[in-house]
Amino acid sequence: MARAISDMLLARSDESKQRFYSMSAQILKERKKYYDTLEKTQHNTNSDITGWLDWFLNCFKNALLASEKILQSVLYKADFWNKNAKITLNGRQIKILNKLLDGDFRGKLQSSKWAKICKCSQDTAIRDIKDLIEKGIFQQEQPGGRSTNYELCKT
């Protein structure tokens, strides 16, 4: 209940219908510390809530920092697609690019992983990757092992 009230009061204080941070989500991330601080405050005999206020304000700061990180990611992705709006891409290429831009991609990008994710042949994956290299979107990572890894070009 306190989390819902906190979110409601923060929304009212923002005087905006748009809010890019969530205290509830941040409290969920920090729930162990939240419950520890709440318990200490409730068992405090002198009604001192300084510890809880300190925790709450730090949690609020963390929620704002998390939203800033998310917004930077969204702006980076929008900028990427704006810069590459005139480049023709197939559905597989768009799928992989979105996974990379969203941070949903685990490990290194290799043609075998591309083929598995896109449910296509290894040859198709290699053609898709080479096409992205020719278009200046992908580059081969520095050689360092048996497999060839690819990454987004740094622009």
Closest listed residue to residue 88, CA positions, set 132, 26, 153: 132
Question: Would you say 97 and 117 are in contact if contact means Cβ atoms under 8 Å apart?
Answer: no
pLDDT band per the 50, 70, 90 thresholds, residue 155? low
pLDDT for the residue numbered 36: 92
pLDDT for the residue numbered 113: 95
Q: What is the DSSP letter of 138?
A: E
Q: So where are the chain's domains? A: 2-75, 91-152
Question: Would you say 34 and 59 are in contact if contact means Cβ atoms under 8 Å apart?
Answer: yes
pLDDT for the residue numbered 128: 97
Q: Is the C-alpha dihedral spanning 47, 51, 53, 56 positive or negative?
A: negative
pLDDT digits (tens, 9 = 90+) for 103-125: 878 888 999 999 999 999 999 99
The predicted model gives 85-109 an average pLDDT of 93
Angle between helical axes of 91-102 and 122-134 (0-180°, round to 10): 70
pLDDT for the residue numbered 145: 63
Q: Does domain 91-152 have CATH number 3.40.190.10?
A: no
pLDDT for the residue numbered 76: 92
Question: Cα 18 to the chain's mean position, in Å?
Answer: 19
pTM: 0.68
pLDDT at 90 over 80: yes
Q: What is the DSSP letter of 153?
A: P
- Which one is predicted more confidently, 69 or 82? 82
Q: Among the residues of 30-110, which ranges form H helices?
A: 31-42, 50-83, 91-102
Closest listed residue to residue 57, CA positions, set 68, 48, 65, 45: 65
Question: Would you say 112 and 120 are in contact if contact means Cβ atoms under 8 Å apart?
Answer: no
pLDDT digits (tens, 9 = 90+) for 15-43: 766 667 788 889 889 999 999 998 888 88
Q: Give the bridge partners for 109, in sequence order.
A: 150
pLDDT digits (tens, 9 = 90+) for 118-152: 999 999 999 999 999 999 999 998 776 677 899 99
pLDDT at 49 over 80: yes
